[in-house]
């Protein structure tokens, strides 16, 4: 455990405490071709990154590919309890083993044997070479090591498959701390896809991801939400990762409102405002960020509780009845203490390119990555995961969905409407660098602090 994170990663001049000071960073990270090229050398080959969900490869031989820059990685189930990852390249003369459509978000399929389309060399699901056409021509020099596929580190957390191309990388468990420990009570591994969609945006991958890293934008972007709640946020770094949640600006509420599902909403009657907030979220965030069970239980609050019931009692009753409703249909809730809920806050950034907005039985997640070598484009993916009764998990596929409210819901479409405009605006000669909110946007400054460590840029700096 005392192995430091990667020797090539620079220390930052900024401490955690410094992140609450006004900081700035330049726009290169978003618009420069040189910076994007440097990311391909210094960032992507060094970090653990989420390649998919375990549920995508349930059977032996099932595989997915993960595309990042010029690298393509095959993640394949080799046995019930064994998953392997390899660079997607034939050991002979370098043809990709699995064809991945250009600009797609990856290939998927099922094979026990990966046969190269060029000269027919073949490999098993452990990466061993199992066939070389006319092997004798190499005069006995082809060792198993020289002809095997090149391994990539792969590990799991929360039902996600993570890969790391650096053979010297620290373990995934160490890399994810302390985000993983704080989020483990949610048992994301018990959740399954509800929907999953992707799209190509005209912006840098960081521009897209950062649109989901702070609730500070709610007042300016999601104005319709303001009638249902207060969105003043806290944010905090946790090593490479970061968290944000709703702050207790209103002392009269006398309860921690860190998460979507411990909020009573805004209004005189918490029985009504709890329902209004949940219903608003469910119908405008593409049936994610809460669940049908929670919305329905909230709808009954006016019938089940007397007028004047204080907000903490309303929340307690609501969660208990939703829990019972779920139990009746075979969905068990994990045990999460109020302290654990509060510490987990609303949403996490997992360095470098993953965001998780979590609840007791659900999560809304995002991933953004470069599109080719263009700093002005990215592949953006979002998906909802939820606990379902066993055997009733929906069958889902990755769907390419244009960035409209019809396809993604009103709230995500509102977020999307900023991205291209931010990318264009950052190129302006008149832009002097970002001014992230020192209280509410520390997740973003922490992201740039850690990017600066990998990239050796030293950003951000004090204003």
Among 28, 56, 247, 415, binds Fe ion (CB under 5 A): 415
Least distance between Fe ion and beta carbon 223 (Å): 11
Least distance between Fe ion and beta carbon 258 (Å): 17
Least distance between Fe ion and beta carbon 222 (Å): 6
**Which partner from the list ligand FES, Fe ion, none does 326 bind, CB cut-off 5 to 8 Å by kind?**
none
When the beta carbons of 121 and 234 are compared against ligand FES, the nearer one is 121
When the beta carbons of 88 and 442 are compared against ligand FES, the nearer one is 88
Least distance between ligand FES and beta carbon 386 (Å): 42
Tokens of 426: 């950052």
Q: Does 275 bind ligand FES (CB under 6 A)?
A: no
Least distance between ligand FES and beta carbon 97 (Å): 7
Of residues 43 through 102, those in contact with ligand FES by CB under 6 A are 90, 92-95
The owner of tokens 């009753």 is: 317
**Which partner from the list ligand FES, Fe ion, none does 90 bind, CB cut-off 5 to 8 Å by kind?**
ligand FES
**Which partner from the list Fe ion, ligand FES, none does 301 bind, CB cut-off 5 to 8 Å by kind?**
none
Of residues 95 through 134, those in contact with ligand FES by CB under 6 A are 95, 116, 118-121
Q: Does 269 bind Fe ion (CB under 5 A)?
A: no
Q: Does 149 bind ligand FES (CB under 6 A)?
A: no
Least distance between Fe ion and beta carbon 196 (Å): 19
**Which partner from the list ligand FES, Fe ion, none does 299 bind, CB cut-off 5 to 8 Å by kind?**
none
Q: Does 363 bind ligand FES (CB under 6 A)?
A: no
Judged by the rule CB under 6 A, the positions of this chain that interact with ligand FES are 90, 92-95, 116, 118-121
């Amino acid at each position: 455990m005392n192995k430091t994170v990667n020797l090539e990663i620079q220390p930052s001049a900024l401490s955690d405490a410094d992140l609450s000071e006004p900081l700035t960073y330049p726009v290169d990270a978003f618009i420069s071709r040189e910076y994007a090229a440097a990311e391909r050398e210094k960032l992507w080959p060094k970090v653990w990154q989420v390649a998919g969900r375990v549920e995508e490869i349930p059977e032996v031989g099932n595989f997915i590919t993960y595309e990042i820059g010029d690298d393509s990685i095959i993640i394949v189930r080799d046995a019930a309890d064994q998953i392997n990852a390899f660079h997607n390249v034939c050991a002979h003369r370098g043809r990709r083993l699995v064809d991945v459509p250009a600009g797609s978000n990856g290939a998927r399929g099922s094979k026990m044997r990966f046969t190269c389309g060029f000269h027919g060399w073949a490999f098993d699901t452990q990466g061993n070479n199992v066939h070389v056409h006319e092997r004798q021509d190499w005069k006995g020099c082809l060792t198993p090591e020289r002809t095997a596929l090149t391994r990539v580190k792969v590990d799991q957390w929360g039902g996600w498959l993570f890969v790391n191309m650096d053979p010297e990388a620290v373990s995934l468990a160490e890399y994810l701390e302390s985000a993983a420990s704080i989020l483990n009570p949610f048992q994301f591994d018990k959740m399954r896809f509800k929907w999953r969609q992707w799209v190509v945006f005209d912006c840098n991958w960081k521009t897209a991801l950062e649109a989901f890293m702070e609730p500070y934008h709610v007042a300016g972007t999601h104005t319709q939400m303001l009638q249902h709640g207060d969105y003043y946020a806290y944010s905090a770094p946790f090593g490479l990762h970061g968290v944000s949640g709703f702050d207790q600006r209103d002392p009269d509420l006398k309860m921690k409102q860190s998460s979507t599902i411990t909020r009573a909403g805004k209004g005189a009657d918490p029985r009504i405002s709890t329902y209004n907030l949940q219903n608003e979220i469910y119908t405008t965030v593409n049936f994610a960020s809460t669940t049908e069970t929670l919305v329905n239980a909230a709808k009954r609050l006016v019938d089940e509780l007397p007028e004047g019931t204080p907000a903490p009692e309303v929340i307690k009753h609501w969660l208990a009845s939703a829990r019972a409703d779920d139990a009746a249909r075979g969905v068990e809730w994990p045990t999460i203490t109020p302290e654990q809920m509060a510490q987990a806050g609303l949403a996490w950034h997992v360095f470098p390119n993953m965001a998780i907005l979590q609840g007791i039985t659900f999560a809304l997640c995002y991933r953004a990555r470069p599109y080719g070598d263009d700093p002005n484009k990215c592949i953006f993916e979002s998906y909802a995961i939820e606990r379902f009764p066993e055997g009733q998990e929906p069958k889902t596929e990755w769907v390419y969905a244009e960035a409209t409210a019809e396809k993604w819901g009103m709230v995500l479409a509102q977020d999307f409407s900023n991205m291209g405009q931010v990318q264009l605006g950052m190129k302006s000669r008149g832009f002097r660098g970002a001014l992230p909110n020192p209280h509410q946007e520390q997740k973003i400054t922490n992201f740039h602090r850690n990017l600066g460590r990998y990239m050796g840029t030293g950003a951000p700096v004090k204003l």
